[in-house]
Amino acid sequence: MGKILGIIGGGQLGMMLTEAAKKMPEHISKIIVLDPVQNCSASQVGAEQIVADFKDKKAIIELAKRSDIITYEIESGDSEVLKLVEKDAEINPSPETLKIIQDKFLQKSFLLKNNIPVTEFIQICSISDLKQGLIKFGYPSILKARRDAYDGRGNFKIDSEKQIQKAFDFFNGAEMMLEKFVPFKMEVSVIAARNTNGQIKTFPLVENIHEDNILRETIAPARISKNVAEYAEEIAKTTMNVLNGAGVFGIEMFVTENNQIVINEIAPRVHNSGHHTLQSSETSQFEQHLRAILGLELGNTTLLHPTIMYNILGSKIFEGEYKSIELSEQNVFLKMYGKKISKPLRKLGHFNLVGKQGETIDYLLKKLETIKDKVSINPA
């Protein structure tokens, strides 16, 4: 008999987890998501839904009572409430791991303690801490909210002394940390998995291109030497070893001019930079996550074809219903997330451009230029 899977969050990640789960009926018999948005993305592909806030204690208790195993697509869940319901359902990654990761300051302190390279950082509790920190790190530095940040919305880059007060006020009393700016030559990530039996596997290193602080493109594999890629994958494995939790984790890193690697942050969940695996690998990151939390043997992570993932984002200039997107190019795989309303830079879908006939990344990048216009979002 398959297990009942509960997922906190039913957005696009919950949706693609649901789709993967439905392909494993012998292991998972039903999927229930908890999401505040009626008719959320995951519910459109066959998950039952509890409509409630991610932090709604009663709803989380209900989800645990109705599920055998719980996972999440967001890191902002209430780890204390999750700890309380561990008696009702197995939770992976563990609430303990979530608690460390969801606070960027605790996360970096934990990595540092385990000798894993991270950006230099300090905790900020007052404006004088901030001034001291900026003397230490210089300009620019990045002030970050410790929790609940996504798509760069919890970051303030401070370029000069003049911005100190503005940056401090921006966070409105939320807990903060300051990071030294890393002049990276490339942003990369590793999607890593660990199953409940301790088996660890990583997908090959990918390159991430951000615009307006939001992931725009992922290039698999990263255009970097084999040595650097292997080094980054080693760091990811070490990280998985110390983290002690089951599931897929997205590990974001910077590569510096002299090929040093520092971890920027870890997401305790499937990750946007792993969407290419839907077509580029035998096992997608979504299936891998389910295999990991169910204690199954992890799947093959070899990259079968060079692939570029391109995010389809809401137009910056309008909010509302939008015209549907269609693509008919060969080896281009479109995935829309079923969101009715576009908002500026909202993640509405993505497509994967797969180099199936031996096409190189350079070729795919040129092909991408001819497709970008076809996915721009316009009012309905």
In this structure, the strands spanning 121-124 and 69-72 are unpaired
Shortest Å distance, C-beta 362 to Mg ion: 27
The span from the CA of 251 to the CA of 192, in Å, is 7
CB of 24 to ligand ATP, least distance (A): 28
Residue ranges that bind Mg ion, judged by CB under 5 A: 252, 265
* Minimum CB distance to ligand ATP, residue 271 (Å): 8
Closer by beta carbon to ligand ATP, 41 or else 102:
102
C-alpha neighbours within 13 Å on the C-beta side of residue 165: 1
Axis crossing angle, helix 285-294 with helix 12-22, rounded to the nearest 10: 70
Question: Cα–Cα distance between 170 and 151 in angstroms, integer?
Answer: 16
181 binds, among Mg ion, ligand ATP, none (CB under 5 to 8 A by kind): ligand ATP
Chain residues in the site for ligand ATP (CB under 6 A): 119, 142, 144, 149-155, 179, 181-182, 187, 210, 213, 215, 252, 264-265
E strand or H helix that includes residue 200:
strand 200-202
CB atoms within 10 A of CB 328: 7
Residue 269 touches which of ligand ATP, Mg ion, none (Cβ within 5-8 Å per kind): none
Least distance from ligand ATP to the Cβ atom of residue 254, Å: 7
Q: CB under 8 Å, gap of 24 or more: what pairs does 105-111 form?
A: 105/146, 105/175, 105/177, 106/146, 107/265, 107/266, 108/177, 110/242, 111/239, 111/242, 111/263, 111/266
Q: Which is nearer to Mg ion, 140 or 295 (CB)?
A: 140
Cα(first)–Cα(last) distance of the chain, in Å? 45
| Smallest distance, Mg ion to C-beta of residue 264, A | 6
Q: How far is the CB of 41 from ligand ATP (least distance, A)?
A: 18
Q: What's the one-letter identity of residue 27? A: H
> Where do the H-state alpha helices sit in the chain?
12-22, 57-66, 79-84, 95-101, 104-113, 127-137, 164-170, 226-243, 277-280, 285-294, 361-371
CB of 184 to Mg ion, least distance (A): 13
Helices (H) and strands (E) in the chain, counts: 11, 20
Q: Which does 2 bind (CB under 5 to 8 A by kind): Mg ion, ligand ATP, none?
A: none
Radius of gyration of the chain (CA): 20
State the nearest-atom distance from the C-beta of 145 to Mg ion, in Å: 12
DSSP state of 175: -
Pick from 10, 9, 8: nearest CA to 338:
10
- 175 is in the binding site of which of Mg ion, ligand ATP, none (Cβ under 5 to 8 A by kind)? none
Structure tokens at 137: 């790190």
